[in-house]
A and B are shown apart, each in its own frame.
Chain A
Amino acid sequence: MLFQKEYANIAVLHLCNTLKHMIKVENLTFGYNKNNPIINGLNLSICNGIHLLLGENGIGKTTLLHLLCGLCYPDKGTILYDDNADLRNPKNMINILFLPEEQRAENDSIVSFAKRHAIFYPTFNKELFHNNLKELNIDENYPMNKMSTGQRKKALLAYSLSLSTPFMLLDEPTSDLDITSKSTVQKMLIENISDDQTVIISTHSANDFQTLYDSLIFFLNKNDIFQNTIDDISQKILFVSETMPHKDALYYERGLNGCTSIIENKNDRENTINIEMLFRALANNENIRNILKK
């Protein structure tokens, strides 16, 4: 638990210089079965930026998003959005958008859905919405229940991004998307998300938007959360690809094209983080944790 709290604080210090649109989770406990909580005493501080939420299946990522948007009530603890705790207050709700991985398909087109749904959201940008649909090549007037899962997801993503809410929670936004659409969505995220917005993206394919994230939140185990900024991580560790494991490797993985090692970044060398490898390394290697803790 100490590990989790320390990292939460480090991440906040590094990222939240402006402290805009902050989500604060304090001692959060929740379980569908009260004797076996999925989330137990979780502490997190998340502010403006794009955050990756990564973890194994069934670890509680979607449950955390459900709790963060008020779909479930915590058994214990609090969730504060800019110091407001009442998540079902309409004044708070207009600031939060949650896009689930799967949901019932409406039997009308995305445009007519947006027409009746967007009236709740004063920040809706109609022009942006139509541009997004155009970029993703979505037929504006085609009924959503007749679209393929991927097309429906793209339509809803185009709409969600145009709502421009201060807080956005996206659950598996890239699942069911083709390769071209993934890069279009990444481009849209860069263009549509402002610096003031707080976006949490939960995904299994961490490398999809590799360059987009400002910070990482890893669910390593039930009570073991790692949270840190990309800048801080890249300053402390280095990913090196060679034919053989590096002599100072803290952790390495062999692949078809050689071997990638994680070593301590002693000379402040610039490097790109391999997020999926870092996740596996943190789950298996105490040394890397200790270096990142410094």
Chain B
Amino acid sequence: MNIGNFNILERYYAKRTLQIIFVTICLITTTFIISLFMYTTMQSGSTGLIRGVCILLFIFAPCLFEKQIDSYNSTIDFLLPASQIAKYMHFWVRYYIIVPTTIILSLVVLFSISDIVSSGNHLLAGIFTKDQSGIWLAILLQPVCFTSYFLYKKNIILKTLVSIIVVLLSCALVILAISSILPNLANVSNLLTNPLFVTPPDKEHIWLLTLSQFFPIPYILGLWITSYQLMKERGI
């Protein structure tokens, strides 16, 4: 990859990237304020709302923040004299580094402020707990959204939702198949949400579980390569 080319591309899109960071911070802050309001009025922990919004934002960011690819929106972007890999890396960095980092940093700052204001009462504590099932699911579903952006021409969000449902159903079928092979594995359903914490089965079937646990790596890499190819082949 031509790094110089990538740097020029990042400079070209700097304003747009800043806009995305700003919108992300605004969304997280608004959700945080609503959660805080719910906590103070109902005295119930409402970290679920913040978690949900953060996860949805991470999954759907490419479809939410990018404009539909067509001749009106994308002519200038398509014709920028930068390599295809530099253009892809620009998208990748935006949605796998910049947006997630912005989400995490916004949460850290907001929680720190709320801790200072509430004199260390840890309002809404619980968002950074050990239960990372939602985050794991988001990591699995986000590449679907990333690929959908380059795959579909119209109604991207709707079609992405359908794709996600198809992926989830396929995963459920795989888990059902594994459950039928390993009936003694009590927490097999955790394979999708938290595969690293699945109890090892008997030695005879350990290969199957190992395969299932490492399945996300080729799955995610495969979707990234697919999205790159789709971007490369995409016309207006």
For residue A268, CB closer than 8 A to chain B, the reply is no
| B78 CB → nearest A CB, Å | 6
Task: Considering the complex, give the chain B residue whose CB is closest to the CB of A94.
Answer: B81
For residue B127, CB closer than 8 A to chain A, the reply is no
For residue A133, CB closer than 8 A to chain B, the reply is no
The number of chain B residues with a CB under 8 A from chain A is 24
For residue A116, CB closer than 8 A to chain B, the reply is yes
Asked if B83 and A96 make an inter-chain contact with CB atoms under 8 angstroms apart, the answer reads no
Asked if A117 and B15 make an inter-chain contact with CB atoms under 8 angstroms apart, the answer reads no
For chain A, residues 101 to 137, give those with C-beta under 8 angstroms from any C-beta of chain B.
Answer: 102-104, 108, 116-117, 119-121
| B113 CB → nearest A CB, Å | 31
Q: Which residues of A contact B42 (CB under 8 A)?
A: none
Task: Considering the complex, give the chain B residue whose CB is closest to the CB of A100.
Answer: B75
Query: Which of A89, A93, A108 lies in contact with B80, CB distance below 8 A?
Result: A93
For residue A209, CB closer than 8 A to chain B, the reply is no
Query: Which of B14, B15, B71 lies in contact with A71, CB distance below 8 A?
Result: B71
Main secondary structure of the interface of B (DSSP, over half): helix
Q: How far is the CA of A229 from the CA of B134 in the complex (A)?
A: 67
For chain B, residues 1 to 31, give those with C-beta under 8 angstroms from any C-beta of chain A.
Answer: 2, 5, 8, 11-12, 14-15
Q: Which residues of B contact A255 (CB under 8 A)?
A: none
Asked if B72 and A102 make an inter-chain contact with CB atoms under 8 angstroms apart, the answer reads yes
Task: Considering the complex, give the chain B residue whose CB is closest to the CB of A101.
Answer: B71
For residue B76, CB closer than 8 A to chain A, the reply is yes
Q: A66-B71, A93-B80 are in contact. Are A72 and B11 (CB under 8 A)?
A: no
Asked if A72 and B236 make an inter-chain contact with CB atoms under 8 angstroms apart, the answer reads yes
For chain A, residues 253 to 290, give those with C-beta under 8 angstroms from any C-beta of chain B.
Answer: none
> Chain A, 70-99, contact with B by CB distance < 8 Å: what is the 0/1 string?
111100000000000000111101101110
Asked if A119 and B12 make an inter-chain contact with CB atoms under 8 angstroms apart, the answer reads yes
Q: A98-B79, A100-B75 are in contact. Are A71 and B235 (CB under 8 A)?
A: yes
Q: Which residues of A contact B81 (CB under 8 A)?
A: 90-91, 93-94, 120-121
For residue A217, CB closer than 8 A to chain B, the reply is no
Task: Considering the complex, give the chain A residue whose CB is closest to the CB of B2.
Answer: A90
Q: Which residues of B contact A69 (CB under 8 A)?
A: 79
For residue B168, CB closer than 8 A to chain A, the reply is no
Q: A119-B11, A120-B82 are in contact. Are A73 and B75 (CB under 8 A)?
A: no
Q: Which residues of A contact B236 (CB under 8 A)?
A: 66, 71-72
Task: Considering the complex, give the chain A residue whose CB is closest to the CB of B77.
Answer: A104
Asked if B8 and A70 make an inter-chain contact with CB atoms under 8 angstroms apart, the answer reads no
Asked if B67 and A90 make an inter-chain contact with CB atoms under 8 angstroms apart, the answer reads no
> Chain A, 220-232, contact with B by CB distance < 8 Å: what is the 0/1 string?
0000000000000
Q: Which residues of B contact A120 (CB under 8 A)?
A: 8, 12, 80-82
Asked if A90 and B79 make an inter-chain contact with CB atoms under 8 angstroms apart, the answer reads no
Instruction: Pick the 8 closest A-B CB pairs, nearest first.
Output: A93-B81, A72-B235, A94-B81, A90-B81, A71-B236, A120-B81, A116-B12, A100-B75
Other A-B pairs, 15, CB within 8 Å; known A71-B75, A71-B79: A66-B71, A72-B235, A73-B233, A89-B83, A90-B82, A94-B81, A96-B79, A100-B71, A108-B15, A116-B11, A116-B12, A116-B14, A119-B8, A120-B8, A120-B81
